[in-house]
Amino acid sequence: METQWAAARSGDGALCAFAASLRWEDIPDRVRHEAKRSLMNIFATALAGSREPAVDIMVETTAAYSGPATSTVIGRSERLDAPSAACVNAMAANIFDFDDTHEATIIHPASVVFAPIFARAEAHPFAGIDALRAFVIGGEVLCRIGLAVSPYHYSHGWHITSTCGAFGAAAASGALFGLDAAQMNGAFATAAAQSSGLVDTLGTMAKSASVGGAARNGLIAADLASRGFSGPAQPLTGARGYLAVYGDKADAAALSDDLGHRWEIADNAYKPYPVGVVLNPVLDACLELYLEEEVRAGDVASVDLIGHPLLQQRTDRPDIATGREAQVSAQHAIAMVLTHGRAGLAEFTDAAVAETAATGRPEVRFRDEAGRDVASAVITLHLKDGRSLTREVQAARGSKTNPLTDSELEAKLATLAEGVGFTGEVEALIEAIWTLDDAPDAGEVVRLAAGG
**311 and 429: one domain?**
no
pLDDT of residue 1: 44
Q: What is the chain's mean pLDDT, rounded? A: 95
Q: What pLDDT shows up at residue 443? A: 97
245 and 290 part of one domain = no
Residue 203 pLDDT class (50, 70, 90 cuts)? confident
The model's confidence at residue 257, banded by pLDDT at 50, 70 and 90, is very high
202 vs 390, residue with greater confidence: 390
Report if residue 226 sits inside a domain: yes
Query: Can you give the CATH number for the domain in which 139 is found?
Result: 1.10.4100.10
Q: Kindly state whether residues 96 and 238 are assigned to the same domain.
A: yes
Residue 309 domain flag:
yes
For residues 125 and 214, membership in a common domain is answered with: yes
- Could you tell me the CATH number of the domain that includes residue 351? 3.30.1330.120
Q: Quote the domain boundaries for residue 342.
A: 277-393
Mean of the pLDDT values across residues 187-203? Answer: 95
Q: How many domains does the chain have?
A: 2
Establish if 398 belongs to a structural domain: no
Q: Is the model's pLDDT at 2 over the cut of 50?
A: no
Quote the CA–CA distance of 426 and 429 in Å, as a whole number: 5
Q: Is the pLDDT of residue 364 over 90?
A: yes
pTM recorded for the entire structure: 0.92
145 and 255: one domain?
Answer: yes
21/115 same-domain check: yes
pLDDT digits (tens, 9 = 90+) for 216-232: 999 999 999 999 999 99
- Same domain as 260, residue 120: yes
How far are the Cα atoms of 78, 143, 233 from residue 107, in angstroms, in the given order?
29, 7, 26
Whether pLDDT at 88 is above 50 = yes
pLDDT at 4: 60
Interval 306-336: pLDDT, tens: 999 999 998 999 999 999 899 999 999 999 9
Better-scored residue on pLDDT, 31 or 276: 31
**What pLDDT, on the 0 to 100 scale, is given for residue 18?**
97
Is there a single domain that holds both residue 355 and residue 412? no
DSSP string, 73-142: -BTSS-EE-HHHHHHHHHHHHHTTS-SEEETTTTB-HHHHHHHHHHHHHHHS---HHHHHHHHHHHHHHH
Alpha helix positions (H), 150-227 = 152-155, 160-177, 181-194, 205-226
Residues 251 and 283 both lie in one domain: no
Q: Verify that 56 and 80 share a domain, yes or no.
A: yes
Is position 364 within any domain? yes
399 found inside a domain? no
Instruction: Give the residue-averaged pLDDT of 401-408.
Output: 96
As a whole-number percent, the residues of the chain with pLDDT over 70 amount to: 98
Quickly state the pLDDT bin for 11 (edges 50, 70, 90): confident
| Residues 149 and 213 reside in one and the same domain | yes
Domain membership of residue 289 (yes or no) is yes
The reply to whether 43 and 186 lie within a common domain is: yes
Rounded to 5 degrees, φ, ψ at 365 are: -110, 130
In a domain, 131, yes or no: yes
Domain membership flag for residue 108: yes
- Asked if residue 9 has pLDDT above 70, the reply is no
